[in-house]
Structure 1
Amino acid sequence: MLLRAASPHWLRHAYARTLVVDHQVPLPAAQALLGHASMQTTAAYARTDLTQLRDFVDATFTDDV
Structure 2
Amino acid sequence: MGRGRAKAKQTRVARELKYHSPTTDLAALQRELAGNGKSDDELDHEDGDYSDEESQDRWSEPRR
TM-score, normalised to structure 1, is: 0.25
TM-score, normalised to structure 2, is: 0.25
Higher Cα radius of gyration: 2
> Per chain length, whose mean CA-contact separation is higher, i.e. which structure has more relative contact order (CA < 8 Å, sep 6+)?
1
